Each structure stands twice: as structure tokens, then as C-alpha cells.
């Protein structure tokens, strides 16, 4: 299937980012359909991208090889149940980007035996700089895995996990991770201002430092520990700062934070699972 038709159910920010990324990668806009009850949003999206649009979700599914569920987790049950007949009739690959909704729950809503991929993108996907975890159910074949990966790779890095329980760890790491790094940036800026730097200077130096460090880590063959050691001169300023961070328990703090986020992801999944009611 060289040019599968991809239907987006929901045309919000993440769907818009994925559509833009796919078109930038060379996908024919006419093979993309977006369905959303907001007619003005659809009109603006069609005008800006050249894709096809529909307001009826089931009509979009009937034409699709890949269906991307891009609605909020709180409304996904109603949307999925409404689509169940169309999914069972046409058998598309279903790719969910809804946080916290487990595959067995979504299978139940869609009528079962659906080729389903669950994904966890993060907000930098809006800039085609995202990181997405993917999990495929047993009904997904290799071609469909490639299709799901192509969709999510349009907005950044994709990583498969083989056990769905690890999606909670993905949520804790990359899903919530941008906020942790924003907090680190915020703290560094504030500390620099406290040391006397003008606010704009502190901001620009912090942001460029974060960007440069991330690029070095991505492009180097060495692990972060080795890179850290290379910029830490014995008895120097960096060593003094790192010693203080270690003494104050930075590593343990991050371990507790990510564990708390992982546990909350599990709690939210249980709350969204209506199959146990």
C-alpha cells in the first residue's frame, strides 16, 4: 500500500502538526482526511494544507486505510463507540494519540480484534521535534507498524516499546519531560538573574546553552556521563556546581518525580477504563 489514505478524527493542534509534518515529508494532501465537528477549523485547515475534510467521523473512517484518533481522552469513548461499526466493516489500522487510554479499553470500545497502535507524542511535536513512544497490539502487521511509524515520525523521533505497561514510563519521561526541562531552564534563568545578569541576557544564555547541550548529546557517540566528564575540569567551577547538585540529591529527586508521573499515568488509565464498570 504505497499511498494509504489517512483519516484524522479530530483536527486539533496535534492533528494539525501531524498533517503538516506528513505533507512536508511528501505525503499527497489528497490522501489525508480530517474530520471534526468544528466547521471553521476544518475550513481553515483545508485552505492551509489542501487536505480533504469531513464533519462525519464514520464517513472519514469508511475511506481510510489508517485512522488517527486525535481527540481528548475524556471524549474518546463516545467517539470510538460511534466509530465501531465503520471500523469493524472497513478494518483500518487505528492509531491512537490519546494519553492514558489502554489498548484493551480502546479495543472494547471499537468492537475488538482491531489492528491498533497506541502512541504517546509530546508537545515539541508541534515543531516537528517531538519524541513518541509506540505500542502495537497483536493484530498489527509489519506493514501497519511501518504506516504508524511514518505518521508519527513526521513530527520527530519514534521509539517502539514491546510491553504496553512501559507506555506509562514513556509518558513520565518524554510525555511530561518538556515541563521538567522548562522548569530547569526557569530555575537557571532565575539563579543567573540573582547573580546579577540582566533578565534578557540570562534568558538567552540559558536557552542557547540548553539547545547546544541537547544537540551535543544527540549528535555525539558518547553517553551523557562521558560528555559531562569532558566539560568538568578538576577543581573548576563546573565541578563545584555539579558536586552541589549531587549533594542536594538531584538524581534521587528526578527518580521520585518520574516515578510519581508513571504512577499517575496508571491511575488515569484506570479512571478511563469503563470496561470494569
- Is residue 133 located within the same domain as residue 86? yes
| Residue 132 pLDDT | 97
Per the structure, how many domains does the chain have?
Answer: 2
Residues 75 and 181 in one domain: no
**Boundary residue ending a domain (152, 170, 188):** 170
188 within a domain of the structure (yes/no): yes
Domain match, 144 and 62 both:
yes
- Among the candidates 118, 139, 170, a domain finishes at 170
Residue ending a domain, among 112, 142, 170, is 170
Supply the pLDDT for residue 251. 97
| Confidence at residue 117, expressed as pLDDT on a 0 to 100 scale | 98
Q: What pLDDT sits at residue 277?
A: 55
Examine the domain organization and report whether 112 and 39 are in the same domain.
yes
pLDDT at res. 1:
58
pLDDT of res. 274:
77
pLDDT per residue rounded down to tens, the chain (277 residues): 578 999 999 999 999 999 999 999 999 999 999 999 999 999 999 999 999 999 899 999 999 999 999 999 999 999 999 999 999 999 999 999 998 899 999 999 999 999 999 999 999 999 999 999 999 999 999 999 999 999 999 999 999 999 999 999 999 999 999 999 999 999 999 999 999 999 999 999 999 999 999 999 999 999 999 999 999 999 999 999 999 999 999 999 999 999 999 999 999 999 988 776 5
Answer yes or no: do 135 and 200 share one domain. no
Could you tell me the residue range of the domain that residue 37 belongs to? 6-170
153 and 225 part of one domain: no
For the four alpha carbons of 94, 98, 100 and 105, in that order, the dihedral sign comes to: negative
For residues 157 and 51, state if they share a domain.
yes
Q: How far is CA 46 from CA 7, 31, 41, 65, in A?
A: 13, 12, 9, 20
Residues 140 and 194 both lie in one domain? no
| Three-class SS state of 141 | coil
Tell whether the torsion through CA atoms of 192, 240, 251 and 212 is positive or negative: positive
- In angstroms, rounded to a whole number, what is the distance separating the alpha carbons of residues 131 and 155? 8
199 and 166, same structural domain? no
- Residues 28, 50: Cα–Cα separation, whole Å: 9
pLDDT of residue 47: 96
Q: Identify whether 1 is part of a domain.
A: no
pLDDT value, residue 13: 93
C-alpha cell at 52: 480533504
Co-location of 156 and 39 in the same domain: yes
| Cell digits of residue 139 | 493484530
146 and 34 both lie in a single domain? yes
Tell me, yes or no, whether 55 and 143 share the same domain.
Answer: yes
Q: What is the CATH number of the domain that holds 54?
A: 3.40.50.720
DSSP state of 173: I
- Is 119 strand, coil or helix? strand
Would you say residue 84 lies in a domain? yes
Give one DSSP letter per residue of 209-275, joined into a string.
Answer: HHHHHHHHHHH-SS-HHHHHHHT--TTSHHHHHHHHHHHTTHHHHHHHHHHHHHHHHHHHHHHH-GG
Q: Is residue 272 part of a domain?
A: no
Q: What is the pLDDT of residue 276?
A: 64
Backbone angles phi, psi at 72, to 5 degrees: -65, 145
* 155 within some domain: yes
Q: What spatial distance separates the first Cα and last Cα of the chain, rounded to whole Å?
A: 40
User: For residue 83, is it within any domain?
Assistant: yes
Amino acid at each position: 500500500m504505497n499511498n494509504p489514505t489517512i483519516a484524522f478524527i479530530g483536527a486539533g493542534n496535534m492533528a494539525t502538526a501531524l498533517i503538516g509534518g506528513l505533507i512536508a515529508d511528501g505525503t499527497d494532501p489528497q490522501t489525508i482526511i480530517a474530520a471534526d465537528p468544528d466547521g471553521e477549523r476544518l475550513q481553515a485547515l483545508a485552505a492551509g494544507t489542501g487536505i480533504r475534510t469531513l464533519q462525519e467521523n464514520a464517513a472519514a473512517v469508511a475511506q481510510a486505510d489508517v485512522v488517527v484518533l486525535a481527540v481528548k481522552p475524556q471524549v474518546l469513548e463516545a467517539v470510538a463507540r460511534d466509530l465501531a461499526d465503520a471500523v469493524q466493516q472497513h478494518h483500518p489500522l487505528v492509531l491512537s494519540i490519546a494519553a492514558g487510554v489502554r489498548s484493551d479499553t480502546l479495543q472494547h470500545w471499537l468492537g475488538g480484534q482491531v489492528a491498533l497502535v497506541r502512541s504517546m507524542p509530546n508537545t515539541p511535536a508541534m515543531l516537528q521535534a517531538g519524541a513518541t513512544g509506540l505500542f502495537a497490539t497483536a493484530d498489527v502487521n509489519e506493514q501497519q507498524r511501518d504506516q504508524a511509524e511514518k505518521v508519527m515520525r513526521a513530527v520527530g523521533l519514534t521509539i517502539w516499546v514491546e510491553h504496553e505497561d512501559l507506555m506509562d514510563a514513556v509518558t513520565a519521561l518524554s510525555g511530561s519531560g518538556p515541563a521538567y526541562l522548562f522548569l530547569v531552564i526557569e530555575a537557571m534563568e532565575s539563579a543567573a538573574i540573582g547573580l546579577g545578569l540582566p533578565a534578557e541576557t540570562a534568558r538567552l544564555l540559558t536557552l542557547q546553552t540548553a539547545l547546544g547541550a541537547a544537540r551535543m548529546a544527540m549528535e555525539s557517540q558518547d553517553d551523557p556521563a562521558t560528555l559531562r566528564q569532558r566539560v568538568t575540569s578538576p577543581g573548576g567551577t563546573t565541578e563545584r556546581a555539579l558536586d552541589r547538585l549531587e549533594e542536594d540529591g538531584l538524581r534521587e529527586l528526578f527518580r521520585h518525580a518520574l516515578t510519581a508521573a508513571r504512577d499517575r499515568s496508571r491511575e488515569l488509565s484506570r479512571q478511563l477504563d469503563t470496561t470494569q464498570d
